[in-house]
Chains A and B, each alone.
Chain A
Amino acid sequence: MTQVPFEHGLLVAAILFGIGLIGLLARRNLLFLLMSIEILLNAAGLAFVVAASRWGQADGQVMFIFILVMAAAEVSVGLALVLQIHHALKTLDSDAVSQLRG
C-alpha cells in the first residue's frame, strides 16, 4: 500500500477548508451554514490526520477524535438553535437573525 503524499493530503484539506469557508460566507440558509462548518472542521481534522501519518505520531489522531466530539456537540446545539429560530422567525435566513445589530 502506497502512502498518499503528505502534500496531497494537505492540499485536499486546504481545498476542503476553502469550500467550507465559501459556503459559510455565500450561503444564507442556516442549515447550509451548519454543513459548511462541518466541512471546515473536517478540513482541519484531515490536516491533523495527514500530519500524524507524516510524522508517525498518534497526537494527530487524538486531535481528530476531539474534533469529532466537538463537532457532534456543536451540531446538536446548532440544530436546536436552528429549530428555535425557525419556530420564532418562520425562516432560516441567517441575515434575518440580526436583532443584535448595533
Chain B
Amino acid sequence: MTGVWLIPALPLAGFLTLALFGARLSRRGVSAVGVGSVGLSAVWGLVVSVGALASRDASVQETLWTWVATAQFRASIGLELDRLSMVMVWVVTGVGFLIHAYSTAYMAEDEGYARFFAYMNLFVSAMLMLVLADNLLLLYVGWEGVGLCSYLLIGFWYKDPKNVRAAMKAFIVTRLGDAAMAVGLFLLAGNLGTLDLDELSVRLPHVLGLGSPLVVAAAALLLAGAVGKSAQVPLQVWLPDAMAGPTPVSALIHAATMVTAGVYLIARLQLVFSLAPAVMQVVAWIGAATLLIAGLSALAQRDLKRILAYSTISQLGYMFLALGVGAWTAAVFHLVTHAFFKALLFLGAGAVIKALHEEQDIFAMGGLRKRLPLVFGAFTIGAASLAGLPLVTAGFYSKDAILHAVAGSAPYGGWLLAIGLVGALVTALYAFRAVFVVFLGETEREVAAPPPVAMVAPLVVLAVLALIAGFLQTPRQLGGIESFGRFVGPALAGQTGHGGEAPAWVLPAAAVASLLGVLLAWLLYVRGRSAVESAAATTEWASLRRLALGGFGFDRLYDAMLVQPFVYLTRGNATDAVDRVYACAAETACVLHRLVSRAQTGRVRWYAAGLALGALLLLGLVVLR
C-alpha cells in the first residue's frame, strides 16, 4: 500500500462530512473542511509522486479491490499514478486548492456555503478518480462524476430558472458525447476483453491493425465523448451557458480541470488514436474549427464571463489541434499553462464582478485600473499569457510548442498552422479588448470594498505561475529547455513524431501575431473607441456581431433541428396516442357493464320471471330435440 487512494479519498471525505454535517458546522468549520481536504490532497499527491518517481518505472499502481470478475471480463477499482496523471493531479489539486481558498471569500455571504463546498469537494474527488483510474471503467465513473458535479454547480443558484436551464443544457449536451463514449468502451471491452489501460496497450496492436474499421469506430466514439466534455465543435454550445454558475465554479470546472478531461482522455488513449490516423485528422480539424469559431465569438461578447468561456473553448481547440497532429506533450503542456492563466482570469473576473455588485457587462465597467490595481495587474498578466505575449508569458511557450508541432505535421500542416496563427491574433485581440475596456478609460462605477486577502492571494500565486510555468519547455531558438517534455514524455511513449521539422519563422510569426492582436485591440478600444462604436452600429457590422454573439447560430440550429421537432412530437403525443387502444378496451367494458347492470332491477319478481323463462327455454330445448 502506497496510499494513492488517499488522494481522491480526502476530498471525498470532505464531501461526505459537509453533506452530512454541513448544516451543523460553522462557516469557519466548513471552510476548514472544504479547503483543508483539497489542500491535504494536494500535499499528499506531491508526497506520493515523489515516492513514485523514485521507483524504477516512475509509476505506482494500486489495486484496491476487484469490481467485476467474469470469465471474459475483469475490472478492478485500481489507481495508477504515472507521470501524466501526476501532472494532472498537481494541476487539479493545486489550482483546485487556490480556487477553494478564493471561494471562502467569494461565497462568504451565500446561504448555500456548505453545499457549495460539498459539491466542489465531490468534484475534485471525481476529477482525481478520472485522472488516476488504471482502467477505463473507473475512468468513466470519474467522468460521469465530474459531469454530475458540473450540473449541480452550474445550477447552484437554483432559484433562478435560467440557471437551472443552463445546468440541464450542459448535462444533456455532454450526455450525447458520453453515450457515444460508452459505446466506444463497449467496443473496446467486447473485442479486447479488457478495459485495463496497461493490458489494453499490450493487446491493442495485436488484435486490431492500423486503420482497421473497428479501431476507427472505437476512436471516433471516444472522440465524441471528449468533444462533449471539452466543449468542441459541434458540442460546444453548453459551455457559454455554463457561466450561470458561481465564478469560482467557472474557474475550476469550466476552465482549469473538467473541460480538459477530453484532452486527457485522448492523450491517455493515444495508442487507440494513433492506430486510427483518419480520426486523428478529424481531431486536428475539430480543434482548428473550434479555436477559430470560438475566438471570433469571444470578440463579440459583452459579458465578461462569456468572453472567458469562449476563450476557454478556443484554447481547448488548440489542445485538440495539438493532439490531432500527435503532439501529445505540447497538448498537455498547454493544458497546464491554460489551467493557470484561465483560472487566474476567471478569479480576476470574479473579483471585478464582485466589486461591481454582480455587474458582468464589460461596457458598464471601465477605469478599474486605479480602483483595483492588484486585480488589474493579475488580470493583465492572465490576459497576456492567454494572448501569448512573447518571451515573458507561459501561454507563449505552450502555444508556440503547439504551432511548431502543427507546422511540421503532414498533410495540411500549412492550413492548420495558418488557422492557428489567425487564432493567436484573435486571441490577443479579444483578451486585450477585455483588459482595455474593463480597466482603462473613465471610471464609470463605484467600487465596493477591495477584495479580501483570501481572494488576492490566489490571484498572486496564479499570476506568478502564469508567467513562469512556460520556462519548463522552451523552443530551440530560446534555450531549448525540455524539462516538461522529458518529465511527461515517458508516459506518452507512443509519440507519433512531428513529421517534418518546423520552419524557423514559426516562432517570430506567433510572436508577431500576438503583438499585432494587442496593438489592434489598443487601436480599436483605446484610441479609436468612438469611431469603432459608430462603425459597429451600421447594419452590416451589427448583423455580423449578432451572429458572433450567438456563437454563430449553433444554438439556433440545434433548436430548430432537434429541440423543436422533439417538442412538436411530445406535444402531439401529449394526449397519449398509444393509450387510445387501451382506453377503447376500457370504454367497451364500461358500455357492456351499463347494459348488464340495467337487468339488475333489484326486484325479486323480475328475477323469478327470469328464472322461469330460463327454465322454460331449457325445457323447450330438451323436449323439441
Q: How far is the CA of A28 from the CA of B604 in the complex (A)?
A: 9
Which among B596, B601, B608 has the highest number of chain A CB atoms within 10 Å?
A: B608
Q: Chain A residues near B599 (CB, 8 Å)?
A: 102
> How far does the Cβ of B194 sit from chain A's closest Cβ, in whole Å?
69
CB closest chain-B residue, reference A22: B612
B603 beta carbon closer than 8 Å to chain A = yes
B602 touches A94 (CB 8 A): no
Q: How large is the interface on A (under 10, 10 to 19, 20 to 34, 35 or more residues)?
A: 10 to 19
Please encode chain A, from 9 to 25, with 1 for each CB lying within 8 Å of some chain B CB and 0 for all others.
00000000000010011
Given contacts A21-B612, A25-B612, contact A95 B605 (CB under 8 A): yes
Beta-carbon nearest neighbor of A100 in chain B: B602
Q: Does A98 contact B (CB under 8 A)?
A: yes
Provide the bound-state CA to CA distance between A20 and B600, in Å: 24
Q: Which B residues are in CB contact (< 8 Å) with A95?
A: 603, 605
**B601 contacts across to A, CB distance below 8 A:** 98, 101-102
> B597 contacts the other chain (Cβ, under 8 Å)?
yes
**A99 on the interface (CB 8 Å rule)?**
yes
Which chain A residues border B623 with CB–CB below 8 Å?
A: none
Residue from A28, A100, A101, A102 within 8 A of B605 (CB atoms): A28
CB of B600 within 8 A of CB of A102, answer yes
Given A21-B612, A25-B612, A94:B605 Cβ within 8 A = yes
Across the interface, name the chain A residue whose C-beta is closest to B600: A102
| B581-625 Cβ-contact flags toward A at 8 Å (1 or 0) | 000000000000000111111111100110010000000000000
In the complex the two chains form, what is the Cα distance from A97 to B598 in whole Å?
17
> Would A98 and B605 be within 8 Å (CB), given that A21-B612, A25-B612 are in contact?
no
Chain B nearest CB: distance from A10 CB in Å?
A: 14
**Min distance, Cβ A95 to any Cβ of chain B, angstroms:** 5
Whether B600 and A25, one on each chain, are in contact in the complex, defined by CB atoms closer than 8 angstroms, is no
Nearest-CB residue, chain B, relative to A24: B608
- Closest-by-CB residue of A relative to B601 is A101
- Chain B residues whose C-beta falls within 8 Å of the C-beta of A28 in the assembled complex: 605
- For chain B, give the interface size range: 10 to 19
Contacts of B604 in A (CB 8 A): 33, 94, 97
Q: Which residue of A lies closest to B594 (CB)?
A: A102
Tell me whether A101 and B608 are in contact (CB under 8 A).
no
Complex: chain B residue closest to A27, CB-CB: B605
Nearest chain B residue, comparing its CB with the CB of A98 = B602
* B612 & A102 in contact (Cβ 8 Å cutoff): no
The smallest beta-carbon distance between B323 and chain A, in angstroms, is: 77
Chain B residue with minimal CB distance to A33? Answer: B604
A58 to chain B, nearest CB (A): 27
- A100 with B608: CB separation less than 8 A: no
- Provide the residues of chain A in CB contact with B600, threshold 8 Å: 100-102
Asked if B612 contacts A98 (CB within 8 A), the reply is no
In A65-102, the 8 Å CB interface with B consists of 94-95, 97-102
Name the residue of chain A whose CB is nearest to the CB of B597. Answer: A102
CB distance from B617 to the nearest CB of A (A): 15
> Of all chain B residues, which has the CB nearest A99?
B602
Neighbouring B residues of A101 by C-beta, 8 Å: 600-603
Separation of A62 and B603 alpha carbons in the complex (Å):
34
Contacts of B603 in A (CB 8 A): 94-95, 98, 101
- CA of A25 to CA of B603, assembled, Å: 11
A25 pairs with B602, CB closer than 8 A: no
Name B593's closest neighbour in chain A (CB-CB).
A102
Q: Within the complex, what minimum Cβ distance (angstroms) separates A91 from chain B? A: 14
A33 to B219, CA, bound (A): 91
Interchain nearest-CB distance for B242 vs A (Å): 63
A94 to B604, CA, bound (A): 7
Chain A CB within 10 A, most for which of B596, B598, B604, B609: B604
| Among B596, B598, B605, contact of A25 (Cβ-Cβ < 8 Å) | B605
Least CB distance from B594 to A in Å reads 9
Chain B 126-166 interface 0/1 with A at a Cβ cutoff of 8 Å (1 = within): 00000000000000000000000000000000000000000
In angstroms, how far is the closest chain A Cβ from the Cβ of B595?
10
Q: Which residues of B contact A99 (CB under 8 A)?
A: 602
Q: How far is the CB of A89 from chain B (nearest CB, A)?
A: 13
Complex Cα–Cα for A25 and B598 (A): 20
Please list the residues of chain B having a beta carbon within 8 angstroms of any beta carbon in chain A: 596-605, 608-609, 612
List 17 additional A-B contacts (Cβ < 8 Å) besides A33-B605, A97-B604, A100-B602: A24-B605, A24-B608, A25-B605, A25-B609, A28-B605, A33-B604, A94-B604, A95-B603, A95-B605, A98-B602, A99-B602, A100-B600, A101-B601, A101-B602, A102-B596, A102-B599, A102-B600
Give 10 CB contacts A-B under 8 Å.
Answer: A21-B612, A28-B605, A33-B604, A94-B605, A95-B605, A97-B602, A98-B602, A100-B600, A101-B600, A102-B596
- Shortest beta-carbon contacts, A-B, top 7: A98-B602, A101-B602, A102-B600, A102-B597, A100-B602, A94-B604, A101-B601
